[in-house]
Structure 1
Amino acid sequence: MNFINEAIEEYAESHTSAESALLYDLNRETHLNVLIPRMLSGHLQGRTLSMLSHMIRPKNILEIGTYTGYSALCMAEGLVENGSIDTIDLNEELQPIIHKYWDQSPFKDQINLHIGNALSIIPTLKKEYQLVFIDADKENYMAYYHLLFDLVPSGGYILADNVLWSGNVLEKPEEMSESTKAITAFNTFIQNDERVENILLPIRDGLTIIRKK
Protein backbone atom coordinates (compact mmCIF):
# COMPACT_ATOMS: atom_id res chain seq x y z
CA MET A 1 0.00 0.00 0.00
CA ASN A 2 2.98 2.33 0.52
CA PHE A 3 3.28 3.33 -3.12
CA ILE A 4 3.12 7.07 -2.31
CA ASN A 5 6.51 8.54 -1.35
CA GLU A 6 6.93 7.77 2.36
CA ALA A 7 8.80 11.00 3.10
CA ILE A 8 5.97 13.03 1.55
CA GLU A 9 3.40 11.04 3.52
CA GLU A 10 5.34 11.60 6.76
CA TYR A 11 5.58 15.32 5.99
CA ALA A 12 1.82 15.46 5.37
CA GLU A 13 1.12 13.70 8.67
CA SER A 14 3.46 16.04 10.54
CA HIS A 15 1.46 18.98 9.22
CA THR A 16 -1.93 17.46 10.04
CA SER A 17 -3.81 17.85 13.32
CA ALA A 18 -3.02 15.06 15.75
CA GLU A 19 -5.36 12.15 16.32
CA SER A 20 -6.82 11.92 19.82
CA ALA A 21 -5.13 9.84 22.52
CA LEU A 22 -7.93 7.28 22.20
CA LEU A 23 -7.45 6.97 18.44
CA TYR A 24 -3.68 6.77 18.90
CA ASP A 25 -4.08 3.88 21.31
CA LEU A 26 -6.52 2.10 18.97
CA ASN A 27 -4.15 2.66 16.06
CA ARG A 28 -1.25 1.23 18.05
CA GLU A 29 -3.14 -1.80 19.36
CA THR A 30 -4.43 -2.61 15.88
CA HIS A 31 -0.87 -2.62 14.51
CA LEU A 32 0.41 -4.72 17.40
CA ASN A 33 -2.35 -7.30 17.71
CA VAL A 34 -4.62 -7.44 14.66
CA LEU A 35 -4.08 -9.18 11.33
CA ILE A 36 -3.49 -6.92 8.30
CA PRO A 37 -3.25 -3.62 10.25
CA ARG A 38 -2.84 -1.65 7.03
CA MET A 39 -6.63 -1.95 6.70
CA LEU A 40 -6.95 0.69 9.44
CA SER A 41 -7.54 4.21 8.10
CA GLY A 42 -4.77 5.72 10.20
CA HIS A 43 -3.84 9.25 11.16
CA LEU A 44 -3.90 11.14 7.82
CA GLN A 45 -6.98 9.50 6.36
CA GLY A 46 -8.70 9.48 9.73
CA ARG A 47 -8.30 13.25 10.01
CA THR A 48 -9.57 13.54 6.44
CA LEU A 49 -12.70 11.57 7.35
CA SER A 50 -13.20 13.71 10.43
CA MET A 51 -12.78 16.93 8.45
CA LEU A 52 -15.25 15.82 5.77
CA SER A 53 -17.76 14.77 8.42
CA HIS A 54 -17.42 18.15 10.16
CA MET A 55 -18.01 19.88 6.80
CA ILE A 56 -21.05 17.77 5.92
CA ARG A 57 -22.52 17.66 9.46
CA PRO A 58 -24.47 14.45 8.81
CA LYS A 59 -27.41 13.28 10.86
CA ASN A 60 -26.81 9.68 9.79
CA ILE A 61 -23.66 7.96 8.56
CA LEU A 62 -23.39 4.50 6.98
CA GLU A 63 -20.08 2.67 6.96
CA ILE A 64 -19.45 -0.59 5.11
CA GLY A 65 -16.36 -2.18 6.64
CA THR A 66 -15.80 -1.47 10.34
CA TYR A 67 -12.50 -3.29 10.93
CA THR A 68 -11.36 -2.18 14.43
CA GLY A 69 -13.64 0.86 14.56
CA TYR A 70 -11.10 3.63 13.97
CA SER A 71 -12.81 5.26 10.98
CA ALA A 72 -16.22 5.18 12.66
CA LEU A 73 -14.82 7.14 15.60
CA CYS A 74 -13.27 9.67 13.21
CA MET A 75 -16.49 10.26 11.29
CA ALA A 76 -18.55 10.42 14.50
CA GLU A 77 -16.70 13.62 15.39
CA GLY A 78 -18.73 15.52 12.78
CA LEU A 79 -22.19 14.18 13.60
CA VAL A 80 -24.92 16.63 14.51
CA GLU A 81 -26.34 16.31 18.00
CA ASN A 82 -28.26 13.04 18.34
CA GLY A 83 -26.83 11.81 15.03
CA SER A 84 -25.85 8.19 14.54
CA ILE A 85 -23.60 5.80 12.61
CA ASP A 86 -24.56 2.38 11.29
CA THR A 87 -21.43 0.38 10.54
CA ILE A 88 -21.37 -3.11 9.03
CA ASP A 89 -18.72 -5.82 9.16
CA LEU A 90 -18.57 -9.58 8.60
CA ASN A 91 -15.87 -10.24 11.19
CA GLU A 92 -17.39 -10.74 14.63
CA GLU A 93 -13.99 -11.61 16.14
CA LEU A 94 -12.95 -7.95 16.27
CA GLN A 95 -15.84 -6.90 18.51
CA PRO A 96 -13.80 -6.94 21.76
CA ILE A 97 -11.27 -4.40 20.48
CA ILE A 98 -14.00 -2.35 18.77
CA HIS A 99 -16.07 -2.00 21.92
CA LYS A 100 -13.01 -1.51 24.14
CA TYR A 101 -12.37 1.80 22.40
CA TRP A 102 -15.89 2.83 21.45
CA ASP A 103 -16.97 2.45 25.08
CA GLN A 104 -14.32 5.01 26.06
CA SER A 105 -15.50 7.56 23.50
CA PRO A 106 -18.23 10.21 23.81
CA PHE A 107 -19.91 8.60 20.78
CA LYS A 108 -20.47 5.13 22.27
CA ASP A 109 -24.27 5.49 22.22
CA GLN A 110 -24.31 6.84 18.65
CA ILE A 111 -22.49 4.01 16.87
CA ASN A 112 -24.48 0.91 15.90
CA LEU A 113 -22.47 -2.16 14.89
CA HIS A 114 -24.13 -4.64 12.52
CA ILE A 115 -22.37 -7.99 12.15
CA GLY A 116 -23.19 -9.79 8.92
CA ASN A 117 -23.26 -9.50 5.14
CA ALA A 118 -23.70 -5.88 4.07
CA LEU A 119 -25.56 -6.97 0.93
CA SER A 120 -28.25 -8.42 3.20
CA ILE A 121 -28.17 -5.71 5.87
CA ILE A 122 -28.29 -2.59 3.69
CA PRO A 123 -31.82 -3.32 2.33
CA THR A 124 -33.11 -3.51 5.93
CA LEU A 125 -31.90 -0.01 6.82
CA LYS A 126 -34.69 2.54 6.78
CA LYS A 127 -32.71 5.75 7.16
CA GLU A 128 -31.46 8.53 4.93
CA TYR A 129 -27.67 8.84 5.07
CA GLN A 130 -25.95 12.14 4.39
CA LEU A 131 -22.54 10.44 4.47
CA VAL A 132 -21.56 6.90 3.42
CA PHE A 133 -18.09 5.32 3.61
CA ILE A 134 -17.39 2.18 1.54
CA ASP A 135 -14.30 0.33 2.75
CA ALA A 136 -14.94 -3.40 2.39
CA ASP A 137 -14.37 -6.21 -0.14
CA LYS A 138 -13.52 -4.64 -3.47
CA GLU A 139 -15.42 -7.14 -5.61
CA ASN A 140 -18.69 -5.84 -4.14
CA TYR A 141 -18.08 -2.08 -4.37
CA MET A 142 -20.48 -1.78 -7.30
CA ALA A 143 -23.15 -3.83 -5.55
CA TYR A 144 -22.86 -1.73 -2.40
CA TYR A 145 -23.05 1.48 -4.41
CA HIS A 146 -26.21 0.44 -6.21
CA LEU A 147 -27.87 -0.77 -2.99
CA LEU A 148 -27.18 2.35 -0.97
CA PHE A 149 -27.55 5.01 -3.67
CA ASP A 150 -31.24 5.62 -3.01
CA LEU A 151 -30.55 5.96 0.74
CA VAL A 152 -28.44 9.05 0.04
CA PRO A 153 -30.32 12.34 -0.50
CA SER A 154 -29.45 14.91 -3.13
CA GLY A 155 -26.39 16.75 -1.82
CA GLY A 156 -25.28 13.72 0.20
CA TYR A 157 -21.82 12.20 -0.02
CA ILE A 158 -20.40 8.73 -0.65
CA LEU A 159 -16.73 8.03 0.08
CA ALA A 160 -14.91 5.04 -1.39
CA ASP A 161 -11.57 3.85 -0.03
CA ASN A 162 -8.67 1.98 -1.69
CA VAL A 163 -9.57 3.24 -5.15
CA LEU A 164 -5.91 3.29 -6.23
CA TRP A 165 -5.39 -0.23 -4.86
CA SER A 166 -1.65 0.18 -4.18
CA GLY A 167 -1.22 1.60 -7.68
CA ASN A 168 -2.40 -1.62 -9.27
CA VAL A 169 -5.12 0.28 -11.17
CA LEU A 170 -2.34 1.20 -13.63
CA GLU A 171 -1.62 -2.41 -14.56
CA LYS A 172 -2.47 -3.80 -17.97
CA PRO A 173 -5.98 -5.34 -17.90
CA GLU A 174 -4.68 -8.82 -18.66
CA GLU A 175 -2.34 -8.61 -15.64
CA MET A 176 -4.96 -7.42 -13.14
CA SER A 177 -6.25 -9.51 -10.25
CA GLU A 178 -10.01 -9.83 -9.78
CA SER A 179 -9.91 -7.23 -7.00
CA THR A 180 -8.05 -4.78 -9.21
CA LYS A 181 -10.50 -5.33 -12.05
CA ALA A 182 -13.38 -4.66 -9.65
CA ILE A 183 -11.82 -1.40 -8.44
CA THR A 184 -11.05 -0.15 -11.95
CA ALA A 185 -14.60 -1.01 -13.07
CA PHE A 186 -15.97 0.89 -10.08
CA ASN A 187 -13.76 3.91 -10.79
CA THR A 188 -14.85 3.95 -14.43
CA PHE A 189 -18.52 3.66 -13.50
CA ILE A 190 -18.32 6.54 -11.02
CA GLN A 191 -16.49 8.72 -13.53
CA ASN A 192 -19.33 8.18 -16.01
CA ASP A 193 -22.26 8.32 -13.57
CA GLU A 194 -24.08 11.55 -14.50
CA ARG A 195 -26.03 11.47 -11.23
CA VAL A 196 -22.94 12.46 -9.25
CA GLU A 197 -19.88 14.69 -9.08
CA ASN A 198 -16.64 13.01 -8.03
CA ILE A 199 -13.00 13.58 -7.20
CA LEU A 200 -10.35 10.89 -6.65
CA LEU A 201 -7.74 12.00 -4.13
CA PRO A 202 -4.31 10.29 -3.81
CA ILE A 203 -4.60 10.10 -0.03
CA ARG A 204 -3.08 6.91 1.37
CA ASP A 205 -4.49 4.20 -0.95
CA GLY A 206 -6.83 6.54 -2.82
CA LEU A 207 -10.09 8.09 -1.58
CA THR A 208 -12.94 9.04 -3.92
CA ILE A 209 -15.41 11.69 -2.79
CA ILE A 210 -18.77 11.39 -4.55
CA ARG A 211 -21.52 14.01 -4.24
CA LYS A 212 -25.00 13.05 -5.31
CA LYS A 213 -26.55 15.77 -7.46
Structure 2
Amino acid sequence: MEGVDSYCADHSDGEPKALKEVSRDTFANVLKPRMLSGHFQGRLLSLISSLVNPTNILEIGTYTGYSAICMAEGLAENGKLVTIEANEEYEDRILNNFRTAGVSEKIELIIGNALEEIPKLDQKFDLVFIDADKLNYIAYYDMIFEKVNIGGVILSDNVLWDGKVLDNTKKDKTTELLREFNIHLKNDARTQKVLLPIRDGLFVSRKIKEI
Protein backbone atom coordinates (compact mmCIF):
# COMPACT_ATOMS: atom_id res chain seq x y z
CA MET A 1 0.00 0.00 0.00
CA GLU A 2 1.43 3.34 -1.04
CA GLY A 3 2.65 5.48 1.83
CA VAL A 4 2.86 2.65 4.35
CA ASP A 5 6.64 2.95 4.82
CA SER A 6 6.35 6.69 5.41
CA TYR A 7 3.49 6.19 7.85
CA CYS A 8 5.48 3.57 9.76
CA ALA A 9 8.56 5.80 9.84
CA ASP A 10 6.47 8.73 11.11
CA HIS A 11 5.21 6.58 13.99
CA SER A 12 8.61 5.14 14.90
CA ASP A 13 11.49 6.75 16.78
CA GLY A 14 12.92 9.77 15.07
CA GLU A 15 16.11 9.65 13.03
CA PRO A 16 19.11 10.81 15.11
CA LYS A 17 20.79 14.00 13.93
CA ALA A 18 24.09 12.29 13.04
CA LEU A 19 22.27 9.76 10.87
CA LYS A 20 20.37 12.52 9.09
CA GLU A 21 23.75 14.00 8.20
CA VAL A 22 25.02 10.63 6.95
CA SER A 23 21.90 10.21 4.84
CA ARG A 24 22.06 13.73 3.41
CA ASP A 25 25.74 13.36 2.50
CA THR A 26 25.19 9.93 0.92
CA PHE A 27 22.32 11.11 -1.27
CA ALA A 28 24.26 14.20 -2.33
CA ASN A 29 27.63 12.65 -3.04
CA VAL A 30 27.55 8.85 -3.42
CA LEU A 31 26.36 6.62 -6.25
CA LYS A 32 23.33 4.38 -5.66
CA PRO A 33 22.09 6.11 -2.47
CA ARG A 34 19.11 3.72 -2.35
CA MET A 35 21.57 1.23 -0.86
CA LEU A 36 21.40 3.24 2.37
CA SER A 37 19.30 1.55 5.06
CA GLY A 38 17.49 4.79 5.84
CA HIS A 39 15.36 6.00 8.76
CA PHE A 40 12.74 3.23 9.00
CA GLN A 41 15.00 0.23 8.54
CA GLY A 42 17.71 1.92 10.57
CA ARG A 43 15.42 2.20 13.58
CA LEU A 44 14.54 -1.49 13.17
CA LEU A 45 18.23 -2.44 13.09
CA SER A 46 18.82 -0.36 16.21
CA LEU A 47 15.89 -2.00 17.99
CA ILE A 48 16.94 -5.55 17.06
CA SER A 49 20.48 -4.80 18.19
CA SER A 50 19.21 -3.40 21.48
CA LEU A 51 17.08 -6.51 22.06
CA VAL A 52 20.02 -8.82 21.34
CA ASN A 53 22.42 -6.53 23.29
CA PRO A 54 25.38 -8.06 21.41
CA THR A 55 28.96 -8.10 22.58
CA ASN A 56 30.15 -8.63 19.00
CA ILE A 57 28.45 -7.63 15.74
CA LEU A 58 29.58 -8.46 12.20
CA GLU A 59 28.38 -6.48 9.20
CA ILE A 60 29.14 -7.61 5.65
CA GLY A 61 28.78 -4.57 3.40
CA THR A 62 29.30 -1.18 5.07
CA TYR A 63 28.42 1.22 2.22
CA THR A 64 28.64 4.64 3.95
CA GLY A 65 28.21 3.35 7.49
CA TYR A 66 24.56 4.16 8.24
CA SER A 67 23.50 0.64 9.24
CA ALA A 68 26.66 0.06 11.30
CA ILE A 69 25.95 3.21 13.30
CA CYS A 70 22.38 2.05 13.91
CA MET A 71 23.43 -1.40 15.15
CA ALA A 72 26.21 0.06 17.31
CA GLU A 73 23.47 1.74 19.37
CA GLY A 74 22.55 -1.65 20.82
CA LEU A 75 26.03 -2.91 21.66
CA ALA A 76 26.69 -4.20 25.16
CA GLU A 77 29.13 -2.21 27.29
CA ASN A 78 32.60 -2.58 25.79
CA GLY A 79 31.02 -4.31 22.75
CA LYS A 80 32.54 -4.13 19.27
CA LEU A 81 31.18 -4.05 15.72
CA VAL A 82 33.32 -5.31 12.83
CA THR A 83 32.21 -4.15 9.38
CA ILE A 84 33.69 -5.24 6.05
CA GLU A 85 33.52 -3.08 2.91
CA ALA A 86 34.93 -4.07 -0.48
CA ASN A 87 35.02 -0.58 -1.99
CA GLU A 88 38.10 1.25 -0.73
CA GLU A 89 36.81 4.53 -2.19
CA TYR A 90 34.26 4.69 0.65
CA GLU A 91 36.85 4.38 3.45
CA ASP A 92 37.37 8.07 4.30
CA ARG A 93 33.65 8.82 4.13
CA ILE A 94 32.79 5.83 6.35
CA LEU A 95 35.38 6.77 8.98
CA ASN A 96 34.20 10.38 8.96
CA ASN A 97 30.59 9.24 9.43
CA PHE A 98 31.62 7.08 12.39
CA ARG A 99 33.35 10.10 13.95
CA THR A 100 30.27 12.26 13.32
CA ALA A 101 28.12 9.69 15.14
CA GLY A 102 30.64 9.31 17.98
CA VAL A 103 31.04 5.53 17.47
CA SER A 104 34.59 5.30 16.10
CA GLU A 105 35.85 3.46 19.18
CA LYS A 106 33.08 0.87 18.91
CA ILE A 107 33.55 -0.02 15.24
CA GLU A 108 36.40 -1.66 13.35
CA LEU A 109 36.31 -1.08 9.58
CA ILE A 110 37.96 -3.66 7.36
CA ILE A 111 38.45 -2.76 3.69
CA GLY A 112 38.65 -5.94 1.65
CA ASN A 113 36.92 -8.96 0.15
CA ALA A 114 34.58 -10.44 2.77
CA LEU A 115 35.17 -13.98 1.51
CA GLU A 116 38.84 -13.50 2.33
CA GLU A 117 38.41 -11.48 5.51
CA ILE A 118 35.73 -13.52 7.33
CA PRO A 119 37.96 -16.59 7.84
CA LYS A 120 40.50 -14.35 9.60
CA LEU A 121 38.00 -13.35 12.30
CA ASP A 122 38.50 -15.40 15.45
CA GLN A 123 35.66 -14.03 17.60
CA LYS A 124 32.08 -15.30 17.88
CA PHE A 125 29.20 -12.97 17.00
CA ASP A 126 25.79 -12.32 18.55
CA LEU A 127 24.45 -10.35 15.58
CA VAL A 128 25.34 -10.47 11.88
CA PHE A 129 24.02 -8.22 9.10
CA ILE A 130 24.52 -9.43 5.51
CA ASP A 131 24.09 -6.56 3.05
CA ALA A 132 26.76 -6.96 0.36
CA ASP A 133 26.91 -8.42 -3.16
CA LYS A 134 23.90 -10.70 -3.56
CA LEU A 135 25.65 -13.37 -5.64
CA ASN A 136 27.69 -14.37 -2.60
CA TYR A 137 24.84 -14.38 -0.04
CA ILE A 138 24.80 -18.18 0.36
CA ALA A 139 28.58 -18.24 0.71
CA TYR A 140 28.51 -15.47 3.34
CA TYR A 141 25.74 -17.17 5.32
CA ASP A 142 27.43 -20.57 5.33
CA MET A 143 30.80 -19.03 6.15
CA ILE A 144 29.63 -17.01 9.16
CA PHE A 145 27.20 -19.55 10.63
CA GLU A 146 29.80 -21.34 12.76
CA LYS A 147 31.00 -17.95 14.02
CA VAL A 148 27.55 -17.10 15.43
CA ASN A 149 26.75 -17.90 19.06
CA ILE A 150 23.70 -19.99 19.93
CA GLY A 151 20.86 -17.48 20.25
CA GLY A 152 22.62 -15.12 17.88
CA VAL A 153 20.72 -13.39 15.07
CA ILE A 154 21.58 -13.22 11.37
CA LEU A 155 19.91 -10.48 9.33
CA SER A 156 19.95 -10.73 5.52
CA ASP A 157 18.88 -7.64 3.56
CA ASN A 158 17.29 -7.13 0.11
CA VAL A 159 15.95 -10.69 -0.11
CA LEU A 160 12.78 -9.64 -1.99
CA TRP A 161 14.83 -7.78 -4.62
CA ASP A 162 12.16 -5.24 -5.60
CA GLY A 163 9.64 -8.09 -5.72
CA LYS A 164 11.51 -9.88 -8.51
CA VAL A 165 11.82 -13.08 -6.46
CA LEU A 166 8.02 -13.43 -6.72
CA ASP A 167 7.99 -13.10 -10.51
CA ASN A 168 8.87 -16.39 -12.17
CA THR A 169 9.51 -14.60 -15.47
CA LYS A 170 12.58 -12.93 -13.91
CA LYS A 171 15.52 -15.21 -14.74
CA ASP A 172 18.51 -12.94 -14.15
CA LYS A 173 21.34 -14.39 -12.09
CA THR A 174 20.87 -12.20 -9.01
CA THR A 175 17.13 -12.87 -8.75
CA GLU A 176 17.61 -16.62 -9.12
CA LEU A 177 20.41 -16.61 -6.54
CA LEU A 178 18.22 -14.77 -4.04
CA ARG A 179 15.42 -17.28 -4.59
CA GLU A 180 17.93 -20.04 -3.82
CA PHE A 181 19.15 -18.12 -0.79
CA ASN A 182 15.65 -17.71 0.63
CA ILE A 183 14.98 -21.43 0.22
CA HIS A 184 18.39 -22.19 1.75
CA LEU A 185 17.45 -20.20 4.86
CA LYS A 186 13.91 -21.58 5.02
CA ASN A 187 15.27 -25.14 5.02
CA ASP A 188 17.95 -24.51 7.64
CA ALA A 189 16.79 -26.57 10.63
CA ARG A 190 19.44 -24.94 12.82
CA THR A 191 17.50 -21.67 12.99
CA GLN A 192 14.24 -20.05 13.94
CA LYS A 193 13.39 -17.65 11.15
CA VAL A 194 10.96 -15.18 9.57
CA LEU A 195 11.11 -13.18 6.32
CA LEU A 196 9.86 -9.64 6.89
CA PRO A 197 8.43 -7.57 3.99
CA ILE A 198 10.21 -4.45 5.22
CA ARG A 199 11.58 -2.20 2.47
CA ASP A 200 13.29 -4.66 0.12
CA GLY A 201 12.88 -7.69 2.41
CA LEU A 202 14.72 -8.57 5.61
CA PHE A 203 15.30 -12.23 6.52
CA VAL A 204 15.71 -12.69 10.28
CA SER A 205 17.30 -15.97 11.41
CA ARG A 206 18.07 -16.92 15.02
CA LYS A 207 20.59 -19.69 15.57
CA ILE A 208 19.17 -22.34 17.90
CA LYS A 209 21.61 -25.21 17.35
CA GLU A 210 24.93 -26.01 15.70
CA ILE A 211 23.86 -29.06 13.66
Q: Normalising by structure 1, report the TM-score.
A: 0.96
Amino acid at match of 1:199: V
Residue aligning to 1:53: 49
Q: How many matched pairs?
A: 208
Matched letter for residue 166 of structure 2: L
- 3-state SS in 2 of match to 1:205: coil
Q: Could you say which residue in structure 2 is the equivalent of 1:196?
A: 191
- C-alpha RMSD of the superposition: 0.9
Shift in Å at residue 100 of structure 1?
A: 1.5
What displacement does 1:10 show?
1.1
- The answer as to 2:205 corresponding to 1:210 is yes
Runs of 5+ unmatched residues, structure 2: none
Percent identity of equivalent pairs: 50
- Relative contact order higher in (CA < 8 Å, ≥ 6 apart): 1
Partner of 1:182: 177
Q: 1:15 offset after TM fit, Å?
A: 0.6
Asked if structure 2 preserves the Cα contact closer than 8 Å seen for 1:200 and 1:206, the reply is: yes
- Provide the residue aligned with 2:165 in structure 1: 169
Secondary structure, counterpart of 2:50 in structure 1: helix
Deviates more, 1:62-71 or 1:94-103: 94-103
User: Aligned AA for 2:191?
Assistant: V
Aligned partners of 2:30 and 2:127: how far apart in 1? 27
Distance 2:113 2:45 in 1: 24
* Contact in 1 for aligned 2:19/2:101 (Cα 8 Å): no
Determine the C-alpha separation between the residues in 1 that align with 2:97 and 2:146: 32
Q: Give deviations 1:187-209, integer Å, cap 9, x for gaps.
A: 00110110111101111100011
Q: Between 89-98 and 34-43, report the one with greater CA deviation.
A: 89-98
- Distance of 1:40 and 1:6 partners within structure 2: 20
The gaps in structure 1 that reach 5 residues or longer are: none
SS state at 1:61 partner: strand
Please tell me whether residue 134 in structure 1 is matched to residue 130 in structure 2.
Answer: yes
What amino acid is the match of 1:131?
L
Following TM superposition, where does structure 1 have runs of at least 4 consecutive aligned residues deviating by more than 4 angstroms? none
Secondary structure, aligned partner of 1:133: strand
